[in-house]
Structure 1
C-alpha cells in the first residue's frame, strides 16, 4: 500500500493533491456533468499530474456507479477514490465501483450530530465497525470529520485518535462552511499532528475567500494532503482552486509539486464549459484580466521585463502572452508599442498628442479602446497634420 506523505525530498516537500471536481465540484447548484465530460475531465486531471481523484458518490444512483466504473476501467495513472457516508450500504456501493480508495464522511460537530439526531458514541461505533470492514476491500480508507472547524478541539482530537485506532489511513479535516483562516489552520493542524501520526488532509471551502490560502497553509503546517477542485467549483462559494494552489506551490521553493501548470488553462476551460460556469475576468491564474495591463507605469516596465508586474509568465499556465490595453491610464510607451506593431513609428511629440486624444475618447466611452478605434484616431490625427 502506498500512502502519501508530506515529507521533504531532495528538492522540497511533496504535497499530495486530491481533486474533487467530479464529486464536490458537481455538487455546485445546477451543475451536471455528462458521462463523456466526466471521462474527459478525469483524463485531463491525470495528465496534468494530480495525485488522486475523488470521482463520485456511488450511492447517489446506478448511473453514477456506472460512470465511476467506466473511469476506473481507463486505468489512469492516478489514485481513484469513491465518497461515502458513514453507512455500510454506501461503502458497498463504492466497493462495486472498483476504486482503489474510499472516503467515509462522519458528522463530528455538535451541530451536525444534532441535525442527524446522533451523538458521538454513534460516531465511535461507526468508526469501529466500518473502517476495519472497508479495509478488507480498499487499499486506502480515508475518513472525514465534517464541520471540523466548528468542532470543539477536544472532540475533534478524540475523533482523530479514534480514527487512528480503527486503522484509518488518512483523516480529512473539513472546513465545511469555509470559516477557517490561515492562522487558525496553522494552529489546528499543528495541534492535531502532535497527537497522531496518521496522515491529515485539509478540505477547504471558499465562503470567506480564503480557501486556497487555507489549503496552502495546511500544507505548510504539515498536512499530507489537500483537496481542491478545478476553478474552485463547488457548493456556495466553492472550494480551494486547483489552478491557484498549483501555481502557488510552483512559485514556492519549499514544495516539489508534479502538476504540469502549462495545461491549467485548457483544463479550466474544459471544466468551465462542462459546468456552465463562466470564468470571471478577474479569476486568479485563468481570468481574462490576469494578463491585461493598462497603467502607463506598468506597461512601460512590462515592455522591459514581463515579470515586473506579473508574478509568473502566461506561458507557465498555458496562456497567451500578456496584453497591453490602451485606455485612460495608458502611457506613451504602450501607445508607441501598439502603433509599432502596426508598422507605425511615433515620435515623442506625436505619441503625446495622440495620447491626449486616446484618454479623452476612453473617458467618453468609459472603457479601453479597440484596435480599430486606435487606427481611426491615428488616421484622423494624420489628416490634420
Structure 2
C-alpha cells in the first residue's frame, strides 16, 4: 500500500441523508470547522441545487477560509454544476448512473448519452476553474469494460480524480480489490472510493480498495449516511495508521471529540461497543483482562492503537466479571485504601449486586466500601434542597433547582426539550461556577409495571479532564430520580478530584 492516503469526508452531504437527520446551518458550519481541525483533506459540504438554503450553507462553508478543500455535489446537469460553481467551492463532485439497472430505470439514457453527459460535465467544471471529481454512480454493478471506457473519457476531458462508488453496498472485499486494481491499470489520475455499509463491510471494502491502489477514501463521522451508512472515518483512519502503517493528515487525537459532536447534533447515538470511539472501546471488566491491562496495557489491547491516540481514556469497569485488581484500582482512584480482607468482602458484595442483573455504578462501589470499612468515605459537596419543574403542551419545560454547594446556597433555572432535560440543564448551570461537568450518559429503565412504575435512572458525568463518575437513583418521578443520580455522580467526581489534589 502507498504510504499516504487522503480522506474525503461526506458527513455534511451523505451523512445528513441519514433518515431522521437534519442539521441546522450553524451545526453544519461547526462540523465543517471541526473536520478542518481534525485534518480532513476534503469535505463534501452539500448538494447546492437541492434548495436555496442548502446553496447558501455550502457557500458559507466555502467562504469560511478553511485549510481543507470544500466540495459541492452535482448531477451532470448544467444547473447543478453552476449551483456549485456559484458557491465558489474548491471542487465539484459530479455523478451519473452507469449501471444498466439505474441507467435504464432511473435516468432512461443510453450508454452513449451517459458517456457524452459525463464528458460535457467535466469540461464545464474545468472551464470554470474548479477541481473536478467524477463518480460513475453504481460503479460496482456496471459492466467493467463500459465503466473503464467512461473513466478514460472523463480523464481525457481533464477530470482531476475519479470516484468508484459501491452505491448499494454489494461488493465483497476481494471483489472491491479486483475492481480498483483493474481501473487503476487503465487510468492515470487518482482513484477515490465511496463504500456503503449495507452488509457491514464498508470499512473492509475501503481498505481493500486502498490496497489495490485507491489514494483517497470517502468516509463519514460515525459511519452515518443513507440506509446503513458509509465507511466510518475513525475505523478507516486508525486501520490505515495502525495496521497498514500508512499515513493520513488526520489528527487522530480529535477523533473522539469529533464523533461526540456529530452524535450530539444528529441524535444518532453510537453503541457502547463502537470501535475506536465507543464508550467501551477501551473499557475492561473481566478479571483476567483487567489484571493484564493494569500490568501492561497491550496484553488485552491492540497496542498499536492506544486510547490516548484517539482522544479516549482507558476505563476499568466493576461488574460481575471483575477481579480483585479491578476493584482495588477503582477504589484507589476514589482515594480508598483497603486491606486484603476488606477488599475480598467488597468484591463479594459487588458480585452479589451484579448477579442480580444490576449495573454496578461508582456510587455502588463507594457505598459498599463505606459499609465494609464502617465509615462514610465521601462528602456531600452539593446538597439538593428543592427543585420544581413546569411543563405542559403550551409551556416550554422549565426547571428551578436550589441546593447548597459547600457552605453557599445556589439556585438556577433552565429549560429543555422535556422536564428531565430541563432539570439536568439547571443543575449543570447551578454548579457551572464551581466545577465544569457534563452529562456523558443517561439511561432510564422502568423496574416495576403500571402507570406508577418505579423508574431507575443511571447517569455518568465527565469533568473537563476526562474523569468519569456514575450513579443510579430510583423513584416514581423520573425528574427526581434524574437529579438525585446526577448530584450523586457529581459529588463522587468532586471527591475523586480532591483525592487527586492530595496526591
Note the residue ranges of structure 1 that are not aligned, 5 or more in a row: 1-6
Partner of 1:4: none
1:349: how far off?
Answer: 4.5
1:250: how far off?
Answer: 2.3
Partner of 2:261: 270
Contact 1:172 1:200 (C-alpha < 8 Å) held by counterparts: yes
Which whole-Å deviations, capped at 9, do the CAs of 1:254-309 have from their partners, x for residues lacking one? 31212101111111111112112122211111111112211000000111122322
Larger radius of gyration: 2
Question: Aligned in 2, Cα 1:131/1:371: closer, same or farther, shift over 3 Å?
Answer: closer
1:162: how far off?
Answer: 2.2
Question: Aligned in 2, Cα 1:145/1:374: closer, same or farther, shift over 3 Å?
Answer: same
Give SS of 1:135's match: helix
1:121: how far off?
Answer: 1.1
Tell me, in whole angstroms, the C-alpha distance in 1 between the residues paired with 2:203 and 2:227.
Answer: 15
Partner of 1:315: 308
Does residue 33 in structure 1 map to residue 23 in structure 2? yes
Partner of 1:3: none
Tell me, in whole angstroms, the C-alpha distance in 2 between the residues paired with 1:372 and 1:381.
Answer: 14
TM-score, length of structure 1 as denominator length? 0.91
1:79-228 maps to which residues of 2 (within 5 A)? 79-115=69-105, 116-228=107-219
Number of equivalenced pairs:
371
Does residue 257 in structure 1 map to residue 255 in structure 2? no
Tell me, in whole angstroms, the C-alpha distance in 2 between the residues paired with 1:243 and 1:95.
Answer: 31
Contact 1:325 1:368 (C-alpha < 8 Å) held by counterparts: no
1:347: how far off?
Answer: 4.0
After the TM superposition, which of the residue ranges 325-334 and 251-260 deviates more from structure 2? 251-260
Partner of 1:327: 319
Partner of 1:232: 223
Contact 1:328 1:359 (C-alpha < 8 Å) held by counterparts: yes
Q: Report which of the two has the higher share of helix.
A: 1
Partner of 2:270: 279
Does residue 360 in structure 1 map to residue 352 in structure 2? yes
Contact 1:263 1:318 (C-alpha < 8 Å) held by counterparts: yes
Note the residue ranges of structure 2 that are not aligned, 5 or more in a row: 375-503
Tell me, in whole angstroms, the C-alpha distance in 1 between the residues paired with 2:240 and 2:252.
Answer: 10
Contact 1:101 1:138 (C-alpha < 8 Å) held by counterparts: no
Tell me, in whole angstroms, the C-alpha distance in 1 between the residues paired with 2:362 and 2:161.
Answer: 55
Contact 1:131 1:141 (C-alpha < 8 Å) held by counterparts: yes
After the TM superposition, which of the residue ranges 104-113 and 239-248 deviates more from structure 2? 239-248
Does residue 46 in structure 1 map to residue 46 in structure 2? no
After the TM superposition, which of the residue ranges 340-349 and 47-56 deviates more from structure 2? 340-349
Does residue 70 in structure 1 map to residue 60 in structure 2? yes
Q: Report which of the two has the higher share of strand.
A: 2
Q: Which has the higher contact order (CA 8 A, sep 6+)?
A: 1
Contact 2:89 2:130 (C-alpha < 8 Å) held by counterparts: no
Question: Aligned in 2, Cα 1:335/1:72: closer, same or farther, shift over 3 Å?
Answer: same
1:182: how far off?
Answer: 1.6
TM-score, length of structure 2 as denominator length? 0.71
